[in-house]
Amino acid sequence: MVQPLSGQAIYVVLLRELKRYWRAKARIISSVAQSFFFLAIFGLGLGGFIGGVGKVSYLSYLAPGIICMGLLFGSVFSGVSVIFDRQFGFMKEMLVAPVSRTSIILGKILGGAVTASIQGIILMAVAGIMGAFTPTPALAFGALAAIGVMLLITTGFVGLGVAIGSTLNDFHAFQLLSTFVIWPLFMLSGAFFPIDAVPLPLQVAMLFDPMFYGVELLRWCLLGVGTPMLGPFGWLISLGVLTGFNALMIGIGTYLFSRAQV
Amino acid sequence: MSSAKTDTIEVSGLTKVFNGKVRAVDTISFIVKGGEILGFLGPNGAGKTTTLNMLSTLLKPTSGTATVNGHDIVEESDAVRRSIGYVFQDPTLDIELTGRENLDFHGRLYNLNRNLRKQRIKEMLEIVQLTDRADNLVKTYSGGMKRRLEIARGLLHHPKVLFLDEPTLGLDPQTRHSIWEHIQRLNQEKKITIILTTHYTEEADHLCDRILIIDFGKIVALDTPDKLKAQLEGDVVSLTFKAPEMIPKVHPLFEKKKWIRRVHLLSVDDNQATTNRMMNMMHGMAAGSGMTGGINHGSTGRSRMPKHLEKMQPHGSINQNSFSNQALGSKRLNLLVDDGGHRIPSIVKLVDEAGVALESVELHKPTLDDVFISVTGRNIRDQRGSFMEMVRRHRIMRQARGRQTHG
């Protein structure tokens, strides 16, 4: 059955995600605190040892990467939460309503992207307070652009989460998901070290990590620096890769979700 | 075809085969009139929920058709979805939201505008008496409150038809009665057509205008509770023996008495019968008359069964060998007897003369439980014997469903 997209349905699923996010205060606090520890301990600790990367301090260099860590975990788990909706039955309530599955899943993806980006914005503020970004007029624009970039980054990863959550039937797979998908994506993203400084095999692996382009783009927005390897138009390449990744993930996520049994 | 105005639901030859093997619902046909409460009565795994899932467009039928409120369930699924409310068997509330938010969410999904939502939510909360708890998170609600909220939610968009899947499963008796009252009130005041599934015979008896007994995916009886019970003429005398081995010994004695209409073994070990039927079902042989060997529903008929029920019986033939096998596990016999009160002394004497020790004797008017036993050959409550089978069956169905797609 082909049903048209319903703006109301997308909106209401998005609204639900926001309400649930806002109510889980403990989750927000623990996730922000975790990122803060990374920034403070690695940024200051390792920074005192390394000094800086290129023209920027290590804390500054690390900040966009840590923001991306928050975005990555937030978005993938938000997408994977369809598994809870399926197991705990709420999905049925949505599926028996006269709205298309596509509307439901687009609402879900949008909701995940927005909540994960809110998380990112909080982290951006924390990093700012810690002095990671040089306060210039350009930073104001950069921060605004960064919010758009966050939505772009998270959309694809929520889609990835939805695809995984629609396929798995088991909560125990969460540990595997974290170990074999999320952490490698994060560690290869170039959050901690520049791609130019690592051996070739690792470089190749990093170039295949979509989050690498997310970190690159966010760094460009907030610090005004890019990876020399990608050339002067690195930001454009990153934009292109992320857009392609999003399209692919929304497609796969929607397809797998529409096939999933409640 | 009868007019769509009076018949709210028309089902014709509806069939669902999972995984190419399991015939969960097997060519069922029936009609539900507007404003009626129809109960699907059957044990777990009989095909009740699968039928509701097809009627609510969640599952596509393998074959057959049905219309709900005049709309085809496959071709016009959107219109069907607008016409129905569905209260699922498993809880489907978002417990991290408040009761009011759950209702509001539902209203938005069904495209009710702001004012309408406000007004209906207020009205529904009053009907199910949750007004004062509306703004608490659902996770703080009791089981009965959650159930009431789900019923309120299912009615928020004013559906013509309400599906209730095991509405009182796992609730205490007091809450159960309160839910029954709500259901009856809704049916009478709002003229809503209701299909409910249950495996509680007293629930079906109390609530339903008509009862459809479903077993292994097939309809085995469909009538009003009173008529179903009236078809079992006489009284039921229930004999419990000290030792199950004694039953084959007394059984032939009862067979010879004219005033005993029917002898029925109760609390049989369902395992064998269930497994056999299961195998038949899986091989797609259930349709037609292919079920003979090993199939026994514990009754040895002298064809004293009412014509109507006789016809409804899915499995006609009786296998004496398997009867004695089954008898090993059972301790009770049910006799359908003319004028039961006066016959008890004769029955006791008969058993006594055969040298068999009785434990107890009971007398009652036929209940829906007896009807259920007489049409399915099993006691609806007695699922202990077949527990492992049920687990297996459940897993089979789940796995089969996992490979199905719908949308």
Q: What is the pLDDT of residues B66-112, one digit of tens each?
A: 999 999 999 998 899 999 999 998 889 999 999 999 999 999 999 99
Across the range B365-384, mean pLDDT stands at: 75
Per CB-CB distance under 8 Å, the chain B contacts of A19 are 96-97, 101
Q: Is residue A100 part of a domain?
A: yes
Helix (H) or strand (E) holding B359: strand B358-364
Q: How confident is the model at residue A262 (pLDDT cuts 50, 70, 90)?
A: low
Facing residue for A19 by CB, picked from B91, B97, B108: B97
Contact B108 A94 (CB under 8 A): no
Which residues lie below 8 Å from residue B49, measured CB to CB, with a gap of 6+?
Answer: B89, B165, B197
> In chain B, whose CA is at the least distance from the CA of A103?
B109
- Nearest CA to B266 out of B368, B335, B359 is that of B335
Six-digit token string for A169: 């039937």
pLDDT > 70? residue B198: yes
Between B297 and A212, residue with greater pLDDT: A212
Residue A41's domain spans which residues? 7-259
pLDDT > 90? residue A156: yes
Per CB-CB distance under 8 Å, the chain A contacts of B86 are 92, 96
Residue B352, CA distances (Å) to B10, B171, B246, B253, B254 in order = 54, 43, 12, 11, 13
| pLDDT of B381 | 60
Q: What are phi and psi of B72, to 5 degrees?
A: -70, 135
Select from B201, B226, B251 the last residue of a domain.
B226
- The total of structural domains in chain B comes to 2
pLDDT > 90? residue B243: no
Facing residue for A1 by CB, picked from B105, B405, B407: B407
pLDDT > 90? residue A66: yes
Q: Are residues B216 and B234 in the same domain?
A: no
Question: Cβ of B92 under 8 Å from any chain A Cβ?
Answer: yes
Least confident segment among A60-64, B63-67, B235-239: B235-239
Q: Is residue B2 part of a domain?
A: no
pLDDT > 50? residue B267: no
Q: What is the ipTM of this complex?
A: 0.84
Residue B377's domain spans which residues? 230-399
Question: Cβ of A255 under 8 Å from any chain B Cβ?
Answer: no
- Looking at chain B, the number of H-run helices and the number of E-run strands are 15, 15
Facing residue for B404 by CB, picked from A91, A169, A261: A261
What percentage of chain B carries pLDDT values higher than 90?
Answer: 39
- Residue spans of beta strands (DSSP E) within B285-353: 299-300, 332-337
Distance from CA of A109 to the nearest CA of B (A): 17
DSSP B329: T
pLDDT > 50? residue B324: no
**Amino acid found at B57:** T
Per CB-CB distance under 8 Å, the chain B contacts of A20 are 94, 96-97
Residue B100, CA distances (Å) to B97, B106, B124, B254 in order = 8, 10, 10, 61
| pLDDT of B314 | 38
Across the range B216-220, mean pLDDT stands at: 91
Select from B192, B226, B260 the last residue of a domain.
B226
pLDDT > 60? residue B398: no
Q: Say how many CB pairs under 8 Å bridge A and B.
A: 79
Facing residue for A93 by CB, picked from B92, B111, B407: B92
Q: How confident is the model at residue B333 (pLDDT cuts 50, 70, 90)?
A: confident
Contact B78 A16 (CB under 8 A): no
If you search the block for the tokens 């469909």, which residue do you land on? B222
If you search the block for the tokens 């975990």, which residue do you land on? A73
Which residues lie below 8 Å from residue A138, measured CB to CB, with a gap of 6+?
Answer: A224
Question: Cβ of A259 under 8 Å from any chain B Cβ?
Answer: yes
pLDDT > 80? residue B387: no
Q: Are residues B126 and B216 in the same domain?
A: yes
Please report how many Cα atoms fall inside a 13 Å half-sphere around the Cα of residue B345, on the Cβ side.
1
Per CB-CB distance under 8 Å, the chain A contacts of B93 are 90, 93
| pLDDT of B395 | 54
Contact B407 A258 (CB under 8 A): yes
DSSP A226: -
| pLDDT of B307 | 43
- Name the most confidently modeled range: A224-233, B30-39, B170-179: B30-39
Which residues 139-198 of chain B have a CB within 8 Å of chain A?
153
Question: Cβ of A84 under 8 Å from any chain B Cβ?
Answer: no
The answer to whether A124 and A222 have CB atoms below 8 angstroms apart is yes
Q: Are residues B213 and B259 in the same domain?
A: no
> In chain B, whose CA is at the least distance from the CA of A101?
B407
Q: Are residues B242 and B219 in the same domain?
A: no
Across the range A74-101, mean pLDDT stands at: 88
Q: Is residue A1 part of a domain?
A: no
Select from B198, B226, B254 the last residue of a domain.
B226
B113-132 tens-digit pLDDT: 999 999 999 999 988 889 99
Least confident segment among A57-61, A81-85, A209-213, B315-319: B315-319
Contact A261 B405 (CB under 8 A): yes
- Nearest CA to B104 out of B116, B92, B95, B96 is that of B116
Across the range B283-292, mean pLDDT stands at: 37
Query: How many other C-beta atoms are found inside a 10 Å radius of the C-beta of residue A23?
Result: 13
Per CB-CB distance under 8 Å, the chain B contacts of A78 are none
Contact B402 A169 (CB under 8 A): yes
A7-56 tens-digit pLDDT: 888 999 999 999 999 998 898 999 999 999 999 999 988 888 888 888 89
Q: Are residues B187 and B221 in the same domain?
A: yes
Question: Cβ of B108 under 8 Å from any chain A Cβ?
Answer: yes
Q: Is residue A2 part of a domain?
A: no
- The total of structural domains in chain A comes to 1
| pLDDT of A200 | 95
Distance from CA of B27 to the nearest CA of A (A): 23
Question: Mean pLDDT across chain A, nearest whole number?
Answer: 91
Q: Are residues B216 and B249 in the same domain?
A: no
Q: How confident is the model at residue A252 (pLDDT cuts 50, 70, 90)?
A: very high
Query: How many other C-beta atoms are found inside a 10 Å radius of the C-beta of residue A3?
Result: 16
Question: Cβ of B81 under 8 Å from any chain A Cβ?
Answer: yes
Helix (H, G, I), strand (E, B) or coil at B40: strand
Q: Are residues B173 and B234 in the same domain?
A: no
Q: Are residues B243 and B342 in the same domain?
A: yes
| pLDDT of B254 | 80
